[in-house]
Structure 1
């Protein structure tokens, strides 16, 4: 009598792989709720009195939800500022200095009308005068992208012969942003229909005044 072969046990199914601790996906709705809470808290008490605890209460989350996303309230606010800055945007390429400046003015006008510009940045600038760490961080976030675009605009204008070699992009940026910031954030006035066209012409003429 032949014995039946003993069936080979089936190999166990591989266990489902678990995501490593700390690798959970951060919910975007929670992130946006925290960001909205920051605006409300800044408007209510300002940056110096703002706390992670108060932000968490406004957002309806625990403090750990905030700290999983940002190390401190400064990093949280800087994230808001950098999110609306022009970092990563290509420099305008209209073929003329005046056209490039006009295009940049259009972008900056939209940015300066954003609540970050009208509510968050002025408060950070006040704190910057008292705290060198904040001043350095704000400078890096606000100027990095803009200076890159201004540098590209100036470089192209020099190549076309519209500006003299050695023109400083930082000074060009001052001429572009200064009037807009004063008008939209400090004075909070409306812009006449031809304001950006006239400002673009004035900036281009001012930058080219030293040519030759």
Structure 2
């Protein structure tokens, strides 16, 4: 009797990576175009060039689909090289942040999801957890470097530092939607560094 060999599943059992990626890209584009409230699985499938069943094989609902994608994007690790000084590190962090918030898709999607988060606890929790974890890690890194260089006293609060960094930029770009002057980032970094030093 010949040994049985396990056959690779075919058809519906195989979730092709290129189709998954096309769906994820379509969700981001659809969120930017119509917002969460008007987003539909049908529109996502149409934009991705796939059948609705391809979406439902991967996610059971619109909410599950959006939460997974938002969580994945928000939790991405950002590279933050050591710039050799606290103002340098803060300037780099702010440059990365302003570039992300100025991106056309992000500038449309983030305010919409935050508004939706006020109505949907699951979206609120996912956004808060993903953003909190990533930002806290970066804040701790910047503060630890500054403490090690002797630029800040031990015990400087990284959460406070993050509030000072993220708040003004988010207010300008995502809430008030004011363009930032060319010298805004270095001036803000210098002011925050001075504030943290006390």
- Structure 1 length-normalised TM: 0.78
Find the residue that maps to 2:172 and give its secondary structure.
Answer: helix
Alignment match, 1:110: 99
- Provide the rounded CA distance (Å) in 1 between the counterparts of 2:20 and 2:65: 11
Residue of 82, 97, 105 corresponding to 2:86: 97
Residue-pair matches, total:
197
Find the residue that maps to 1:48 and give its secondary structure.
Answer: helix
Residue of 6, 9, 16 corresponding to 1:26: 16
Residue of 188, 208, 211 corresponding to 2:197: 208
Structure (1 or 2) with the greater helix fraction: 2
Distance 1:71 1:98, change over 3 A: farther
Find the residue that maps to 2:14 and give its secondary structure.
Answer: coil
Q: For the Cα contact (< 8 Å) 1:56–1:62, is it kept in 2? A: yes
After superposition, the C-alpha distances for 1:61-119 in whole angstroms (9 at most, x for unaligned) are 22221133334323432444345446322333122111111111111121112234212
RMSD, aligned α-carbons: 2.6
Q: CA deviation at 1:15?
A: 8.2
- Provide the rounded CA distance (Å) in 2 between the counterparts of 1:86 and 1:95: 26
Alignment match, 1:48: 37
Structure with the greater alpha carbon radius of gyration: 1
Q: For the Cα contact (< 8 Å) 2:71–2:126, is it kept in 1? A: no
Stretches of structure 2 lacking an aligned partner (at least 5 in a row): none
- Provide the rounded CA distance (Å) in 2 between the counterparts of 1:93 and 1:118: 28
Name whichever of 133-142 and 108-117 sits farther off.
108-117
Q: For the Cα contact (< 8 Å) 2:71–2:127, is it kept in 1? A: no
Alignment pair present for 1:191 and 2:190 = no
Distance 1:142 1:163, change over 3 A: same
